[in-house]
Amino acid sequence: MSDDTHVMSTTDRLIYMAHQIARNMATLGEARAVTALAAHLTSFWDPRMKAQIIAIAQAEPDRLSPTVAAAVAQIAQGRSAGKVDATQFNTVDEAGHCDAG
Amino acid sequence: MTYTRETDHGTPPALATGKSVTLTIDGQSVTLPEGTSIMRAASLLGGSIPRLCATDSVESFGSCRLCLVEVEGRNGYPASCTTPVAEGMVVRTQTDRLKQLRRGVMELYISDHPLDCLTCGANGDCELQEQAGAVGLRDVRYGYDGATNMGQAKDQSNPYFDFDPSKCIVCSRCVRACEEVQGTFALTIENKGFDSKVAPSQGEDFLGSECVSCGACVQACPTASLIEKKVVESGTPDRAVVTTCAYCGVGCTFRAEMRGEELVRMVPWKDGKANRGHSCVKGRFAWGYAQHQDRILNPMIRASVSEPWREVSWDEAIAHTASEFRRIQAKYGTRSIGGITSSRCTNEETFLVQKLIRQGFGNNNVDTCARVCHSPTGYGLSQTFGTSAGTQDFDSVMQADVILVIGANPTDGHPVFASRMKKRLRPNNGKPGAKLIVIDPRRTDLVQSPHVAAEHHLPLRPGTNVAMLTALAHVVVTEKLYDETFIRERCDWDEFADWAEFVSQPARSPEAIEPLTGVKAEDVRAAARLYATGGNGAIYYGLGVTEHSQGSSTVMAIANLAMATGNVGREGVGVNPLRGQNNVQGACDMGSFPHEFSGYRHVSDTATRTLFERAWGVTLDSEPGLRIPNMLDAATDGSFKGLFVQGEDILQSDPNTHHVAAGLAAMECVVVQDLFLNETANYAHIFLPGSTFLEKDGTFTNAERRIQRVRKVMAPLNGYADWEIVQLVANAMGLDWTYDHPSQIMDEIAALTPTFAGVHYDRLEAEGSLQWPANDAAPDGTPTMHIGGFVRGKGKFVVTDYVPTDEKTGPRFPLLLTTGRILSHYNVGAQTRRTANTAWHPEDRLEIHPSDADNRGLKDGDWVTLRSRAGETTLRALITERVAPGVVYTTFHHPETQANVITTDFSDWATNCPEYKVTAVQVMASNGPSDWQQDYADQARQSRRIAPLEAAE
C-alpha cells in the first residue's frame, strides 16, 4: 500500500481480509489452513461478502493466493461444513462452547 | 421507606482462621470468629458502642478513646475497636465509669467543634452529633471556642465535595480510607497535637493534589468536614435504592440515595460483590448528565441530514421508523437493514434489539460495540478454553501471588478493581504483597505508585504483543517451567507438544525478538520465570491486547501461557479480560453478534435456531449477518440502506471516521436512540430519545460474568425506558410483543439460553447477584470457571504465529500512536463531558517523549498536528517520559479532537476488531484546529439544528 492513500475499496478490503486470515492460519500447514479458512469465512462472513469473494475468485483469480483460492472454491461448492478447526458450537441445552467472532 | 445508612460494625470482619471463641457481652453469650474486635462483636449482637475513629471500611486505629469498655479480670478500659474477643471474656459496654470517661472525651471534641448543627450540611447524618447524644453530653466545661481549629477556610476546589477543616475531628478515617480502600495515599495528617490537620498532598488543595476524587474519604468522614456539595445543596436523602453503575465493566453497585425523585448521592453498596463498598469519581459523582440540558426529550425526524430536526410525537416517530424500515426492505431486500445493540443498555434491552432484528427484520445484521473492544476475547477464549468470558471473580485477585497486567491501565480504566489489585500488591498483616509484571508501551501508574512497584515493566513497541507472549512461552518451555501434570490432565498433550515445539524455536526466543519489541531479553526471561514459578499467577488484560491486527492471537497466546503454567481453574489465577462497558459482557451474552444467538450459539446450528423459531414464531436466517465495519462497507457499496443504533456513537468511537461518515451518509434511514444528539446523530434521520440507567429496571453483566440488578429510581424524562421504545418499534412492525416488565424479558432469556437458565429476578433479589453459568448444574452461579476441566473438554493450545501489522512506520509517518483512557472520562465522553469531571481533563492531549518533542521543536502545551495515512487532527502536546521515544499516546474522550480521524481501517484478523492501538503518525507544530476539524464542527452545528415548533392552529 502506498503512503498516500489509506482508503481501500470494499473489494480490496475483502481480498485483504481473506489473506490476513490466511496468514494467521499459515502455521496449520496448507491443507488444514484451507479448511480452517473456509470454515472461518462460512461462520463469520455474511452471504453477500461470501458471494463477493466467490465472484472475485472467478473474475480476478490472480488476486487470490492459492490458499485463499482453495478455501473460496470450497465455499463456492458448498463443501465447508463451517465446523472444522476454527469453531466449535454448542449442542442444544449444552452450556459453554462459543465463538464470539 | 426511611433513610438509614448501611450498618457500620466499626471494624472489618476478622481474617478467616476457622477458629471461633465464645464470650459474654452485657450478659449475652456469643460465638464469633477468632480475631473479631469487641466493637464488631457488640454490633453483631445489635448493640453499638460509641465510637468516632472506627468504621468497618478500614482497619481499627484506636485514637478517639470513645469506645472504651470494661473486661472482667483486666485492668483499665481497653478500646473495643483494637481489642479482639477471647474465650470466656466477659465484657461490659455501659457502666457509670465508662459513661463518665466517654463524656469527658466528648467534651474535649465538642470544645473545638462548631455548634452550627441546625444549619450544617451533615445535620441529621453526623456521627459526632449522634455520639454526643449517645454518651449523654449535656455540658462542655471548657467552653465552645477552641483555640485553633475553628474559622478556617474551606477547600471547595473539588467539584463534588467540600473540605471544611474547622469541622475536622482528626479521626484519620479519611486518611486511612485513601490508603487502605483507594490505595492512592493522597491524604495525610500534618503537624502534631492540637495543630494536627488533614492535608491533601503537600499543602495543595484537593483538586490540585494527587486525590483521584473517589469519595472514599467523604464516605468515611463522621462529620461535615468532608461532605458532598449535593448534600449541602439539597439536604439529606430519605430513601435508598440499590442499583448498578452504568460506566465501566467493573459493575459497582450503589445505593442511590434519594429524596423524592431527586438523586442526592450515590454511595457504594458494601454488600456489592464487585466493588465491596468502593467507587470511583465517575460512579459516585459523575451522574449529573442524567439531568443535563443537552438531553433530548422529544422524538425528532427529518427527511435529510441537511435539514433541521423536527420534533414529533412518539406515535409519529415510531410509525415513521417502522414504515421506513419496511419501505427500504421492500425496495432493497431483507438484508438491506440492520442494527447495533448497546453495551450501555440493559441485558433485557439488548436482547430485545437483537430480537427485533432477527425476528422483525428477518436477518442477522446485528452487532454491538464489543466489535471494537473485546470481540477477540470472545474468539480467543472460546478457541482455547471454550467460553467467551473471564475465568475468575474479582475477589480472586486477593489469592494471587503474581499478577501479570498486559495492555491494561486499570487505575484509569477500571479504577475500583485497581484499588483491590493494589491492596493485594501491598504487604498486608505480615503477608507479603503479590509480585507485579506490567507489559505496556507506557509507564502506567501501576508501574510505580505509592507502595506499589512492578517487579518487571516490559515497555514493548505497540504491535508486538504476540512476539512478546511467544517469547515468554519460549522461556517457560525451554527452561521446563511448565506444569506437566496439569497439561496432561486438562489439555491435549499432543497439541501442547506441537505448540511447545513452535515456541521453542530459536527465532522466538527473547533474544531474537529484542530488536522487534525493544525490550531487553533478560527482563523478558526474568518476567517469564516469575510468572511460571511465583505461585498463583493471574493475568489481567485490556484493550491493549485486543485492539490489534492480532488481537485474537494475543488472547490465545495468553490462554496458552496460563494453561502451560497450570494457572487456570482455581482461585487466585486465571485469564481475566477487563471488559470496557458496563454491560459489554451482557451485550455479547445476549446474542448481539451477527453470527450467534444468546449464549454464543451459532446461527447455523439448526437445533438452536429451531428453539428460537418455535419461541418467536418465524423462520430465522441461518446465515451470519454483517459486522459493523462490514455494514459500513455494504452501505458505501449501496446494498445496506438502514440502521437502528441504540446507545452507541459509532461516528466518534469507531476507527477511521471518514469511512464511518461515508457509510452513514450512504444510508437512507439512520435511527439513533440516545440521550444526546451524539456525533452519529449528525447523520441520522430519526432520533428517539433514550433513558438513563436511573430511569429503568433491568440487569447489567460485568466483567466477572456477574448479573446485577439495575433499579428504576425516577421516571424517564423522555417518557419511556429504552426497552419500551424497542417494543413500540417492534409492534409497529407487527411483532405483537407484550412485555410489561423487564423481568419477563429475562424469563424469556432464561428459557432460551442454557447458561442463563437459573437467572430470574426473584433469584437476583435473593442473592444480590449471580455469575453465569447459573443453571441446574450450577444453581448458585459460577465464580470460578474451568474447575477440574475446561468448558470445551480439553484445553486447546493454539499455535499463534507473529504476523506484524501492515500499519508500518516509515519516513513520512515515523511515530507509533497508541490510544487509551483517563480516569475522569468515559470513552467518547458523552456522559462525563456533561459533568464536572471536565475539571480534570478538559481536552485530549498528545503524550510525546521529550526527545521526539525536541526533534520537532515542540514545547509542552503547544498545538500540534497529528497526521496518519487516514487523516489528521490537532491537539496540544504533553511532554512526558511515560511514553518511550518513537511512541505517542492520546485519549479519545473529546469530539473536537476526534482521534479516530487518525486511526485506520486495519483490524483483527479473526473478528475485525479495529487496530486502535497502532497507527503510524507524524507530529508537527501547528497553529490550531485543522480545516477538517472546522468543517466537522460546522457540519455538526448545522446538523444539530432543531426547528422551532410551529404554533398550533
Q: What is the pLDDT of residues B776-828, one digit of tens each?
A: 999 999 999 999 899 888 999 999 999 999 999 999 999 999 988 888 888 88
Kind of pairing between the strands at B253-259 and B239-244: antiparallel
Q: Residue B913: closest CA among chain A residues belongs to which residue?
A: A101
Asked if B637 reaches chain A (Cβ–Cβ under 8 Å), the answer is yes
Helix (H) or strand (E) holding B91: strand B90-92
Please state, in angstroms and as integers, the Cα–Cα distance from residue B641 to each residue in B336, B507, B637, following that order.
Answer: 6, 49, 10
pLDDT of residue A79: 62
pLDDT in tens, A13-31: 999 999 999 999 999 999 9
Give residue B186's identity as a one-letter amino acid code. A
Domain membership flag for residue A83? yes
The angle subtended at Cα B68 by Cα B63 and Cα B73, nearest 5°, is 130
Helices (H), B65-136: 96-111, 127-134
Domain membership flag for residue A33? yes
Give residue A11's identity as a one-letter amino acid code. T
Give chain B's mean pLDDT: 94
pLDDT in tens, B80-138: 999 999 999 999 999 999 999 999 999 999 988 998 999 999 999 999 999 999 999 99
pLDDT at A93 over 80: no
Whether A92 sits inside 8 A of B626 (CB atoms) is no
pLDDT in tens, B897-940: 877 888 888 999 999 999 999 999 999 999 878 787 888 888 88
Asked if A24 reaches chain B (Cβ–Cβ under 8 Å), the answer is yes
Q: In chain B, what is the straight-line distance between the N-terminal and C-terminal CA atoms, in Å?
A: 47
Please state, in angstroms and as integers, the Cα–Cα distance from residue B454 to each residue in B405, B435, B451, B510, B527, following that order.
Answer: 10, 7, 10, 20, 10
pLDDT in tens, B436-471: 999 999 999 999 999 999 999 999 999 999 999 999
Whether B754 sits inside 8 A of A90 (CB atoms) is yes
Domain membership flag for residue A48? yes
- From the list B127, B106, B110, the residue with the least C-alpha distance to B56 is B127
The residue among B196 and B161 whose pLDDT is bigger is B161
pLDDT at A1 over 80: no
B577 CA: distance to closest CA in chain A (Å): 14
Helix (H) or strand (E) holding B537: strand B537-541
Using an 8 Å CB-CB cutoff, list chain A residues near B658.
7
Using an 8 Å CB-CB cutoff, list chain A residues near B553.
24
- Of B600, B611, B755, Cβ closest to residue A92: B611
Q: Is A74 helix (H, G, I), strand (E, B) or coil?
A: helix
pLDDT at B525 over 80: yes
Interface test with A, best of B603, B633, B752 (most A CBs within 10 A): B633
Segment B378-383 mean pLDDT: 93
Please state, in angstroms and as integers, the Cα–Cα distance from residue A60 to each residue in A11, A12, A64, B515, B904, following that order.
Answer: 11, 12, 8, 39, 26
Q: Is B910 helix (H, G, I), strand (E, B) or coil?
A: coil
pLDDT in tens, B867-902: 999 888 999 999 999 999 999 999 888 888 877 888
Q: Phi/psi of residue B896, each to 5°?
A: -65, -35
B320 CA: distance to closest CA in chain A (Å): 28
What is the percentage of chain B residues whose pLDDT exceeds 90?
A: 87
Helices (H), B535-627: 543-546, 551-564, 584-589, 606-616
Using an 8 Å CB-CB cutoff, list chain B residues near A42.
604
Using an 8 Å CB-CB cutoff, list chain B residues near A6.
656, 868-870, 904-905
Please state, in angstroms and as integers, the Cα–Cα distance from residue B184 to each residue in B197, B440, B774, B925, following that order.
Answer: 18, 21, 36, 36
Segment B361-388 mean pLDDT: 93
Asked if B504 reaches chain A (Cβ–Cβ under 8 Å), the answer is no
Domain membership flag for residue A14? yes
pLDDT in tens, B232-251: 999 999 999 999 999 999 99
CB-CB neighbours of B851 under 10 Å: 12
pTM for this model (two decimals): 0.94
Whether B812 sits inside 8 A of A47 (CB atoms) is no
Q: Domains in chain A: how many in total?
A: 1
pLDDT of residue A6: 54
Q: Which three cell numbers stand for residue B390?
A: 473471564
- From the list B779, B768, B772, the residue with the least C-alpha distance to B276 is B768
Q: Residue B550: closest CA among chain A residues belongs to which residue?
A: A24
Asked if A7 reaches chain B (Cβ–Cβ under 8 Å), the answer is yes
Whether A101 sits inside 8 A of B375 (CB atoms) is yes
Asked if B383 reaches chain A (Cβ–Cβ under 8 Å), the answer is yes
pLDDT at A95 over 80: no
Round to whole Å and give the CA distance between B90 and B71.
6
Round to whole Å and give the CA distance between A14 and A8.
9
Q: Which three cell numbers stand for residue B148?
A: 485553633
pLDDT in tens, B346-356: 999 999 999 99
- Of B387, B656, B912, Cβ closest to residue A96: B387
Q: Is B615 helix (H, G, I), strand (E, B) or coil?
A: helix
In contact, B790 and B381? CB cutoff 8 Å: no
pLDDT of residue A87: 40
- Of A14, A20, A98, Cβ closest to residue B909: A20
Round to whole Å and give the CA distance between B326 and B661.
24
CA dihedral in degrees (A14, A18, A21, A25; nearest 10)? 180
Asked if B550 reaches chain A (Cβ–Cβ under 8 Å), the answer is yes
pLDDT at B951 over 60: no
Using an 8 Å CB-CB cutoff, list chain A residues near B659.
7
Segment B55-72 mean pLDDT: 96
- Of A6, A48, A101, Cβ closest to residue B911: A101
B379 CA: distance to closest CA in chain A (Å): 5
Interface test with A, best of B382, B499, B609 (most A CBs within 10 A): B382
In contact, B777 and A95? CB cutoff 8 Å: yes
Domain membership flag for residue A84? yes
pLDDT at A89 over 70: no
Please state, in angstroms and as integers, the Cα–Cα distance from residue B394 to each residue in A28, B273, B276, B417, B540, following that order.
Answer: 36, 8, 10, 7, 11
Give residue B540's identity as a one-letter amino acid code. Y
Domain membership flag for residue A20? yes
A47 CA: distance to closest CA in chain B (Å): 7
pLDDT at B358 over 90: yes
Q: Is B604 helix (H, G, I), strand (E, B) or coil?
A: coil
Whether A23 sits inside 8 A of B625 (CB atoms) is no
The angle subtended at Cα B386 by Cα B648 and Cα A35, nearest 5°, is 95
- From the list B391, B798, B423, B832, the residue with the least C-alpha distance to B568 is B391
pLDDT at A4 over 80: no
Asked if A6 reaches chain B (Cβ–Cβ under 8 Å), the answer is yes
CB within 8 Å of chain B, chain A residues 40-99 = 40, 42-49, 82, 86-99
pLDDT of residue A80: 59
Using an 8 Å CB-CB cutoff, list chain A residues near B786.
none
Residue A82 lies in domain: 10-89
Whether A10 sits inside 8 A of B910 (CB atoms) is no
Whether B799 sits inside 8 A of A28 (CB atoms) is yes
Domain membership flag for residue A97? no
Domain membership flag for residue A4? no
Helices (H), B112-237: 127-134, 173-176, 216-220, 229-234
Asked if B418 reaches chain A (Cβ–Cβ under 8 Å), the answer is no
In contact, A49 and B624? CB cutoff 8 Å: no
Round to whole Å and give the CA distance between B689 and B469.
45
Report DSSP letters for B317-331, one per residue. Answer: HHHHHHHHHHHHHHH
ipTM over the 0.85 cut-off: yes
pLDDT at B949 over 90: no
pLDDT of residue A96: 40
DSSP one-letter code for B911: T
Q: Residue A87: closest CA among chain B residues belongs to which residue?
A: B383
